[in-house]
């Protein structure tokens, strides 16, 4: 987090805690806009932002998560994406590459569909199509849905093992990284769970013309890899990467492989004319 610039910004009638990396420097690459997983704060993704050191990186805490104030009322993917677009406008960013993980992967899909002109390419990690997502392990889903994993050390160890296939105590530096995650408020966590109720991207995905990279773990107990195959079948210009031995947090367990995959996709030669028409 030392290299991040942290601020509070108003956008779409909401106050949000924002983190940016290298936004004021020169880069040959578009900024990456990142949507985080449920309950996770900016701190959880700081290592990824640091690793992608050749491009600007932007993310924010959802209402009631991390350092963002509690929401006054429930929100929807549509309203959060509208606020995100307003935020990018304030930052002077006309075009971005978008990435999302888990819950944030669903939000990333909504943003790409709702604000197509702003998005060049899309990366979806450990996510599905909303209501049409094939469910994973009930025990693992229960662990993911319970905010105690951010507050109770014993519960965190059990839930981490369910999500990650290893004990939190055995992960060394990765455990230290998770220790920096700010716990969400109960209302923030509840509203984040409720936000995707009834939502599905499946009917619109065949009309998504962006280039899309779908990244999944083949041992993910929360979002089984079959969901990535479904997304791949629905999105015309998509490619699918499945990480062998990867759980829901393969961005941690397969860090170098994940970063290499992301770089390769974002840096691959532009189908410039096609992407310009797609926008």
Q: Report the length, in residues, of the chain.
A: 279
Torsion of CA 107, 232, 142, 196, to 10 degrees: 30
Q: Please say whether the dihedral angle defined by the alpha carbons of residues 158, 160, 162 and 165, taken in this order, is positive or negative.
A: negative
Residue 102 annotated in active site: yes
Which residue is catalytic, options 41, 68, 102, 258?
102
Strands 5-11 and 32-35: unpaired
| C-alpha pair distances (Å), 33 with each of 48, 57, 193, 233 | 12, 6, 21, 25
* Helix segments in the chain, DSSP class H: 46-51, 77-91, 103-114, 138-145, 153-164, 173-178, 186-195, 226-234, 250-253, 255-267, 272-278
Look at residue 15 and give its three-state secondary structure. strand
Give the active site residues. Answer: 102
């Amino acid at each position: 987090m030392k290299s991040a610039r942290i601020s509070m910004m108003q956008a779409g009638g909401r106050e949000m805690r924002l983190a940016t990396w290298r936004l004021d420097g020169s880069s040959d690459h578009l900024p990456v806009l990142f949507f985080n997983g449920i309950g996770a704060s900016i701190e959880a993704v700081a290592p990824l932002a640091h690793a992608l050191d050749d491009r600007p990186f932007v993310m924010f805490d959802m209402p009631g998560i991390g350092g963002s104030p509690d929401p006054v009322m429930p929100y929807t993917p549509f309203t959060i994406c509208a606020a995100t677009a307003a935020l990018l406008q304030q930052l002077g960013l006309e075009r971005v590459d978008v990435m999302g993980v888990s819950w944030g992967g669903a939000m990333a899909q909504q943003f790409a569909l709702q604000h197509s002109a702003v998005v060049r390419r899309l990366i979806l990690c450990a996510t599905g199509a909303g209501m049409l997502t094939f469910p994973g392990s009930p025990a693992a889903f229960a662990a993911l849905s319970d905010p105690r994993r951010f507050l109770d050390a014993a519960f965190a160890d059990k839930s981490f093992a369910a999500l990650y296939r290893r004990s939190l105590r055995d992960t060394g530096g990765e455990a230290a990284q998770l220790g920096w995650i700010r716990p969400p408020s109960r209302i923030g966590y509840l509203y984040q769970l409720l936000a995707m109720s009834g939502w599905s991207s499946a009917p619109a995905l065949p009309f998504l013309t962006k280039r899309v990279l779908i990244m999944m773990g083949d041992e993910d107990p929360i979002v089984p890899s079959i969901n990535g195959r479904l997304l791949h079948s629905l999105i015309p210009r998509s490619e699918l990467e499945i990480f062998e031995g990867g759980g829901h947090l393969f961005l941690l367990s397969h860090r170098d492989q994940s970063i290499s995959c992301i770089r390769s996709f974002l840096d691959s030669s532009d189908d410039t004319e096609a992407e310009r028409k797609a926008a």
